[in-house]
């Protein structure tokens, strides 16, 4: 079973340790944490990036929760067919962010590393594809919207 431990869109600084703690459990042999960090450049745009501003649809948290819930239903223990839980927590920050700020955190725990890594990757990609959060990128020459 897939357990949604935490799923939030917020304008406050993301607490990576809180998300990691939300998925940690005695049956988890692997915990994977992804942090999406604001960088000083965009390979698809000229010039430097000096900051970002994320804007979200009012239902963005609902979409985020759906992505997390759908990520992976279960894995099976190779010694028997008992489903082992995959726990997922995700948070996306909105508002103004500076270079180095954490914009997205996804934490996943699973019995084995393969499931944890695969689930984390799937959740990150699905969040970027499906959750209605938009990014305005700022640089010395002004700003532009990305992903719209």
Q: For 72-86, write each residue's pLDDT tens digit.
A: 444 444 445 556 789
- Classify each residue of 65-94 as buried b or exposed e, where b means 16 or more C-beta atoms within 10 Å of its C-beta: bbbbeebbeebeeeeeeeebbbbbbbbbbb
CA 29 to chain centre: 20
Q: pLDDT tens, 132-141?
A: 999 999 999 8
- pLDDT, the chain, mean: 89
Structural domains of the chain sorted by starting position, each given as residue range(s) with its CATH number in brackets: 2-146 (3.90.1170.40)
Alpha-carbon distances, residue 65 vs 85, 138, 140 (angstroms): 17, 29, 36
pLDDT score of 69: 84
Find the mean pLDDT for residues 115-125.
Answer: 94
In the chain, DSSP finds a helix count (H) and a strand count (E) of 3, 10
End-to-end, the C-alpha distance of the chain in Å comes to: 34
Strands of the sheet containing 142-146, edge to edge, are: 95-98, 51-56, 133-139, 142-146
Q: What is the pTM of this model?
A: 0.89
Find the mean pLDDT for residues 22-45.
Answer: 94
pLDDT score of 82: 58
């Amino acid at each position: 079973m897939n357990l949604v431990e935490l799923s939030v869109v917020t304008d406050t600084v993301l607490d990576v340790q809180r998300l990691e703690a939300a998925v940690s459990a005695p049956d988890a042999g692997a915990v994977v944490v992804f942090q999406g960090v604001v960088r000083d450049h965009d390979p698809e745009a000229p010039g430097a990036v000096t900051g970002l501003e994320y804007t979200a649809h009012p239902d963005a948290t609902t979409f985020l929760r759906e992505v997390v819930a759908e990520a992976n239903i279960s894995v099976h223990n190779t010694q028997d067919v008992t489903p082992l839980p995959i726990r997922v927590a995700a948070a996306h920050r909105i508002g103004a962010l500076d270079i180095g700020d954490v914009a997205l955190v996804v934490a996943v725990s699973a019995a084995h590393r393969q499931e944890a890594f695969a689930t984390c990757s799937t959740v990150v990609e699905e969040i970027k594809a499906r959750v209605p959060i938009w990014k305005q990128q700022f640089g010395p020459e002004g700003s532009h919207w990305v992903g719209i």
